[in-house]
Amino acid sequence: MIMGFSGGSVVPPAVATAILLLLGLAAAASAQLSATFYDASCPSALATIKSAVTAAVSKEPRMGASLLRLHFHDCFVQLGGPSYTVPLGRRDSTTASLSLANNDLPPPTSDLADLVGNFSRKGLSTTDMVALSGAHTIGQAACTNFQSRIYGESNINAAYAASLQANCPQSGGDGNFAPLDVATPNAFDNAYYGNLVSQQGLLHSDQQLLNGGSTDALVSTYASSATQFSADFAAAMVSMGNIGVLTGSQGQIRLNCAKVN
């Protein structure tokens, strides 16, 4: 559910190269996460990577969602959303499991209880879960991920469902995409929550956040307060970045972030 449907964009070689080269310079640095991790070993790291990422997102807006989903040193990504300080120095694992990754990410068919439980098992609160779901303010999802919702669920705006059906038939159309945020698909803001209030959540798991359950009030708060959403999203991103941290001699800096060296 969260950050799982970006439209299949691939991180450009220039962005990946900039990140890998600069991070490699600090491989033997402090074993503790720190907001100033690269200040001495590579003082131009943040500015250089920000420049490459900005250029990539300008060329292909979906790249922002791809990078956010990847959460690959998320501190370097500026998408027009909240600005916050993230501890740096996290290293990659020396094992890779596609099945484990897929099992850990909630599917778009998740109900509220599934979402709360999934995030809780990672040490994240319900507030973290609702705030992180706001990452769906950017990115796209394939037809196959919302097909059953737009044809078989009642808690969806009728006009919105009809507009999606025009590009997503009841069978087929798997290669067709729709924005996760119908209001401002390429801007990082709190419009995602306003969509939920209007029953315009694209995925089943999205609309579950406002469907007569325990998270309704928080969704309404975020829909009316961009400031509160930004603050909670930033805090939740820091918490997520501290899950299973590898530092120092643990792990590695991958040459290809999709597989171990």
92 is in an annotated binding site: no
Is 136 marked as a binding-site residue?
A: yes
Q: What contacts 30, CB < 8 A, 6 or more positions away?
A: 37, 89, 247, 248
- Annotate 42-58 with b (16+ C-beta within 10 A) or e (fewer): beebbebbeebbeebbe
* Residue ranges of E strands in 55-113: none
Residue 169 annotated in ligand binding: no
CA dist., res. 48 & res. 214, Å (int): 43
| Chain-centre distance for alpha carbon 40 | 30
Query: Are the CB atoms for 185 and 138 separated by under 8 Å?
Result: yes
Residue 192: count of CB within 10 angstroms of its CB = 28
Query: What does each C-alpha distance from 132 to 232, 245, 247, 261 come to in angstroms?
Result: 8, 19, 24, 30
User: Does 232 show up as a binding residue in the annotation?
Assistant: no
Task: Identify the three-state secondary structure at position 187.
Answer: coil
For 244, the token pair is 């299973």
Helix, strand, coil percent content, the chain, rounded in steps of 5: 45, 5, 50
- Contact call for residues 2 and 106 (beta carbons, < 8 A): yes
Catalytic residues: 73
Is residue 137 annotated as involved in ligand binding? Answer: yes
189 is known to lie in a ligand binding site: yes
61/187 Cα distance (integer angstroms): 9
Q: Which residues are annotated as a binding site for heme b?
A: 136
Q: Which residues are annotated as a binding site for substrate?
A: 106
Q: Which residues are annotated as a binding site?
A: 106, 136-137, 181, 184, 189
